[in-house]
Chain A
Amino acid sequence: MEKKLSARTNFILTVVFLIFVALLLYLADRYMDSYKLRVVRLIAIYGIMAVSLNLINGITGIFSLGHAGFILIGAYTASLLTLSPEQKAMSFIIEPIVPWLANAHTDFFTATVAGGVLAAVFAFFIGWPVLRLSGDYLAIASLGFAEVIRIIALNAISITNGPLGLKGIPEYSNIWWCYGWLFVTVLFMASLVNSSYGRALKAIREDRIAAEAMGINVFKHQLLSFVIGAFFAGVSGSLYAHWLTTIDPRTTTLGPMLTFYVLIMIVLGGLGSISGSLIGAALFAILFEWLRDLEEPFTFFGIHVPGIKGMRILVISAIFILVMIFWQRGIMGREELTWNNLYRWLFARRKGGEEK
């Protein structure tokens, strides 16, 4: 049973798989209608958000609820850098934009990296006080910091345009940027988790005190995880902003609600599993779009049901509570979808006398 695939087979399978995915994406890009394509791109963006929160919550066991704050920083930083100076001058009507930002203009890649870096810098400074706490206090404190970031975005009008938000952000988040960044994120996370750092993070998750006794610098590792998670959250924020094309610091788009969405994804997929996070993100994005029909009027077995606003969030939160009560491990648990595991599962089934 413990038969393992050789490193070479593993590598070849992975490359073949990636080429296959790239081909699929190419076909999707070519032939899908623009609405479906939007959902396909959203899956990748949600995927980055989920994988990065999973590093903090699932793998390191820090229960952070501050993800939306980092996403917001990434979204604003990147958008302010990709908007042209004329656009910025035009949309800042309450107060003119600060001079050092007015003429800053970069390409999409630099802007995205800048968004990630700024989010990571914030995480570094927020991490100092927040990571001194533990458990549920940490959850509330990180949620609080995310709110503080949002409140700053709402009030620092000469930088963020305040409640009006930013409009006319170029729709740069095409399928290749989204999935390219998703690939980078997953590759980085997988290597991190399998390194000595990753093992240290998991040790902290399992037992913080025992990990400390084994000589792991708990605070340093937690901070590292927090900062890396925030970097990718910032990246996803940039992609998200260039997918939405308008952003504003309201509760629903970039507020605590977004953190809860990402939390639902990783819980659904299995806290602590990267592949689980990806599956959770894809499921969430598809479910969320599919449930949109509930909000339109429809006919069910001849009964006419009027569309009800907010219905899909209600359904999703009900599913979420049920998952938490009856199925806490989620889809993947802490397992990863690797070739070895896949092989093992298929192999085990074949032994039961079942063909194919």
Chain B
Amino acid sequence: MVFFLQNLFNGIMLGGLYALIAIGYTMVYGILRLINFAHGDVMMMGVYFAFYAATLLSLNPLFSAIVAILGAALLGFLIDRVAYKPLRNAPRISALITAIGVSFFLESLAVVVFGAIPKSFLKVFKDRTILNKVLTVAGARIPLLTFLVIFITVVILIVLFFIVYRTKIGMAMRAISMDIPTTALMGVNVDAVIGFTFALGSALAAASGIMWAMRFPNVHPYMGFMPGLKAFIAAVFGGIGSIPGAVLGGVLLGLIEIFLAAYFPAFMGYRDAFAFIILIVILLVKPSGLLGKKIVEKV
């Protein structure tokens, strides 16, 4: 029971982090039918922003996180403007190849600017008592950080759902995901809304990345690659284009990964392979995902 509880909380935490990244994928895919390959790398850049805001500008952790999230939002917006916007009317595969190029560019930019040697995110915190605090729940010893991450994730999700379902720009985002030309005719500035979507998704990715780095404090230029891929898988799992689906897919993926590794320790080394196997199975059995709508291809 204690073992189960520990893994349950770890799984929910990891899943929440996947979910935050997955939302960025699912929003962009819903609108542009583009896998934003660079999304995981935007998360990585966000973590570096936070790291340098705290160590170079000596801001306190909370402020540096806010600075980093804003920086990542700007970065996401710029990526869309510079790299994806010129290709709106090009074949979809061109945009995908460009996205791979952008991912590659951000990784090498991080190597050049920040260096390839991993850095410890713990340097951000002068006072580490909160990080090291451990709570005991029904006999299970769980770090306070785990609860904190879960709590912040839930708060962010509530804000996000408010933006998407209760504000005008959220309505515009949902409209664009259904039909771009018609939405443009209704007087919506489509490019601005797409830019906002990128900024919002990137901000979520940065928030997720910062919490990721608090839990796994090894910061390096390729740290965004695997979480990015897995978050994409989570988005597909939950049904791509659906924000609740991304959350559900993320949490399930986190739980599956943690529990498989916990109860079958022999396969620990293969942990990263699970996600891809889940992806293949989902795509073959139910390609629209758990909460996605079925898209019929018209000829």
Contacts and interface: CB of A to CB of B under 8 A. Distances in A.
Q: Classify the secondary structure of B's interface with A.
A: helix
Given A148-B276, A151-B273, A314-B105, A324 B97 contact: yes
A177 interface: no
B273 A256 contact: no
B96 to A, nearest CB: 5
Interface in B268-289: 269-270, 272-273, 275-277, 279-280, 283-284, 287
Contacts of B105: 314, 317-318, 320-321
Given A132-B284, A263-B100, A313-B104, A152 B273 contact: yes
A151 B272 CA distance: 8
Interface stretch (A11-19, A214-222, A304-312, A334-342): A304-312
A310 B83 contact: no
Contacts of B272: 147, 151
B108 A324 contact: no
A109 to B, nearest CB: 33
A260 B104 contact: yes
Interface string A129-145: 11011011101110111
B210 interface: no
Contact of A324 (B34, B94, B277, B283): B94
The contact size tier of chain A is 35 or more
A147 B276 contact: yes
Contacts, number: 111
B104 A140 contact: no
B94 A328 contact: yes
Interface stretch (B84-92, B135-143, B249-257): B84-92
A310 B225 CA distance: 17
Interface of A: 63, 65, 129-130, 132-133, 135-137, 139-141, 143-145, 147-148, 151-152, 154-155, 209, 251, 256, 260, 263-264, 267, 308-311, 313-314, 317-318, 320-321, 324-325, 328
Interface of B: 33-35, 83, 86-87, 90, 92-94, 96-98, 100-102, 104-105, 108-109, 111-112, 115-116, 222, 225, 229, 232-233, 236, 269-270, 272-273, 275-277, 279-280, 283-284, 287, 299
Q: What are the 7 closest A-B residue pairs judged by CB atoms, nearest first?
A: A144-B276, A310-B111, A155-B269, A317-B105, A313-B108, A314-B108, A317-B104
